[in-house]
């Protein structure tokens, strides 16, 4: 089978797709990857054939001031940036390719990939990239997507069945998804990463703002760092490739600041994670049964944070106003209250019981 893995955005969108694409490659299928320009080389470095399509959402490392998080603004970005501009450009690029697949493996907001698959008359598989299930909503994207569909001779899709028409893979524990937004009938919950109990040698807090929003966080790193380093135990911080750890000045011996550390290396050593609440960071946190303090900045992070409150996984702070002492006190409270760790452990165990990548690949192979 010729499988085109098509995703939009950065590592947070590629991360859930990579193990599936790798399993397909190992099983003897032909796999190609198409993505934004800034992700082509990382995908090639991972061992895949890759080429550019659609717009590039990478900011090139330009630092931006923090904008007060607002869900209506994020919805507008999803509608105008992804369902309108990006879907239009990506559909055109995929349909112009000489490389013809039997199936397209799309990430959740690669609407152009889904439209291209429908035009080509082949199935597509949607790999979800939003943990709580409440970010991508028909009320936000439907009108724009129907405009793009019409440009390719496709009829209106009033219930947006295209989002899950053939197969949907959800790499999250089912309880994390909001009950008002259940998976479609074609949906399957799967496990794409190892699940293990974190066993830190001493109390350890890990702080990250991911790989995209780190450069759009203004002085948030400085404020959070000032609060967290007052806590006992170790503090490990990752700031992303475009930020120099040296800009934060000398730190106490118990504080380590790096540009990047893979989650699988750092999370087993941790007691708690402070993050922006991106779905990738949140899934890794849960996979190790860790409580969390969330400081959402945009995209799906605010809806993820609301769901984490519902489930008792941790607490949420306001990125725009939070002060160092509030960071310190809230993190200490979550560390000291066992109920947060217990909630995280329940979700970790739920994730551990899910079928893994070979099962996902068998579902994909069944579509041919």
Summarize pLDDT for 87-111 with one digit per residue, the tens: 999 999 999 999 999 999 999 999 9
**Distance from C-alpha of 62 to C-alpha of 243, rounded to nearest angstrom:** 10
| The two three-digit tokens of residue 297, written as one number | 């900045």
| Separation in Å, CA 329 to CA 40, 219, 287, 293 | 42, 19, 25, 11
Options 3.40.50.1470, 3.40.50.2000, 3.40.630.10, 3.40.50.2300; CATH for 2-193+354-365 is 3.40.50.2000
Whose CA is closest to 313, among 183, 135, 172?
172
The mean pLDDT value for 300-328 works out to 96
Strands of the 255-258 sheet, one edge to the other: 255-258, 234-238, 204-208, 272-275, 292-294, 314-316
| Separation in Å, CA 108 to CA 46, 62, 165, 213 | 21, 26, 12, 19
Question: Quick one: CA torsion of 145, 149, 154, 159, rounded to 10 degrees?
Answer: 0
Res 61 pLDDT > 70: no
Cβ burial of 321 (10 Å; 0-12, 13-18, 19+) is: exposed
The mean pLDDT value for 38-57 works out to 94
pLDDT for the residue 56: 87
Summarize pLDDT for 335-349 with one digit per residue, the tens: 999 999 999 999 999
pLDDT, mean over the chain? 94
Whose CA is closest to 172, among 339, 348, 38?
348
Summarize pLDDT for 122-157 with one digit per residue, the tens: 999 999 999 999 999 999 999 999 999 999 999 999
Res 323 pLDDT > 70: yes
Global pTM reads: 0.94
Ranges of H-type helices in 80-165:
87-96, 111-120, 138-151
**Distance from C-alpha of 311 to C-alpha of 133, rounded to nearest angstrom:** 14
pLDDT for the residue 79: 95
Summarize pLDDT for 161-183 with one digit per residue, the tens: 999 999 999 999 999 999 999 99
pLDDT for the residue 60: 64
Collapsed DSSP state (helix, strand, coil) of residue 264: helix
Contact 89, 127 (CB under 8 A): no
pLDDT for the residue 167: 97
Collapsed DSSP state (helix, strand, coil) of residue 125: strand
pLDDT for the residue 334: 98
pLDDT for the residue 12: 85
pLDDT for the residue 57: 79
pLDDT for the residue 59: 65
Bridge partners of residue 49, in order along the sequence:
32
Whose CA is closest to 264, among 207, 205, 201, 194?
194
Share of the chain above pLDDT 70, in %: 99
Collapsed DSSP state (helix, strand, coil) of residue 6: strand
Break the chain into its structural domains and give their ranges: 2-193+354-365, 204-352
Summarize pLDDT for 242-286 with one digit per residue, the tens: 899 999 999 999 999 999 999 999 999 999 999 999 999 999 999
pLDDT for the residue 218: 80
Res 321 pLDDT > 80: yes
Can 2-193+354-365 and 204-352 be said to share one CATH topology?
yes
Where residue 25 falls among pLDDT bands split at 50, 70, 90? Answer: very high
Res 330 pLDDT > 70: yes
Superfamily of domain 204-352: Glycogen Phosphorylase B; (3.40.50.2000)
Whose CA is closest to 291, among 236, 238, 347, 239?
347
């Amino acid at each position: 089978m010729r499988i085109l893995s098509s995703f939009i955005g950065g590592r947070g969108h590629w991360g859930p797709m990579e193990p599936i694409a790798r399993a397909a490659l190992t099983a003897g299928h032909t796999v190609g990857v198409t993505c934004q320009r800034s992700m082509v080389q990382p995908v090639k470095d991972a061992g895949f054939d890759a080429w550019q399509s659609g717009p590039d959402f990478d900011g090139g490392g330009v630092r931006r001031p923090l904008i007060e998080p607002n869900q209506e603004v994020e919805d507008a970005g999803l509608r105008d940036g992804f369902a309108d501009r990006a879907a239009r450009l990506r559909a055109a690029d995929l349909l112009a390719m000489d490389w013809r697949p039997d199936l397209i493996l799309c990430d959740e907001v690669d609407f152009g990939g889904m439209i291209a698959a429908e035009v080509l008359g082949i199935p597509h598989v949607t790999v979800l990239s939003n943990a709580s299930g409440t970010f991508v909503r028909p009320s936000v994207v439907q009108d724009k997507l129907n405009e793009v569909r019409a440009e390719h001779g496709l009829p209106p899709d009033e219930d947006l069945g295209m989002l899950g028409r053939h197969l949907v893979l959800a790499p999250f524990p089912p309880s994390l998804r909001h009950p008002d937004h259940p998976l479609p009938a074609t949906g399957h919950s799967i496990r794409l990463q190892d699940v293990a109990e974190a066993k830190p040698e001493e109390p350890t807090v890990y702080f990250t703002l991911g790989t995209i929003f780190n450069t759009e966080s203004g002085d948030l790193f400085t404020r959070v760092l000032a609060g967290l380093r007052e806590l006992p135990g170790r503090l490990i911080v990752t700031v992303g490739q475009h930020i120099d750890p040296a800009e934060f000045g000398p730190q106490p011996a118990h504080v380590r600041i790096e540009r990047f550390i893979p989650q699988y290396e750092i999370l087993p050593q941790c007691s708690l994670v402070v993050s922006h609440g991106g779905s990738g960071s949140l899934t890794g946190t849960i996979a190790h049964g860790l409580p969390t303090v969330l400081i959402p900045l945009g995209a799906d992070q605010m809806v993820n944070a609301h769901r984490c409150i519902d489930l008792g996984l941790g607490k949420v702070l306001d990125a725009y106003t939070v002060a160092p002492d509030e960071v310190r006190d809230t993190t200490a409270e979550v560390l000291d209250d066992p109920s947060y760790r217990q909630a995280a452990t329940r979700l970790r165990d739920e994730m551990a019981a899910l079928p893994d990548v070979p099962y996902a690949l068998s579902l994909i192979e069944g579509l041919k």
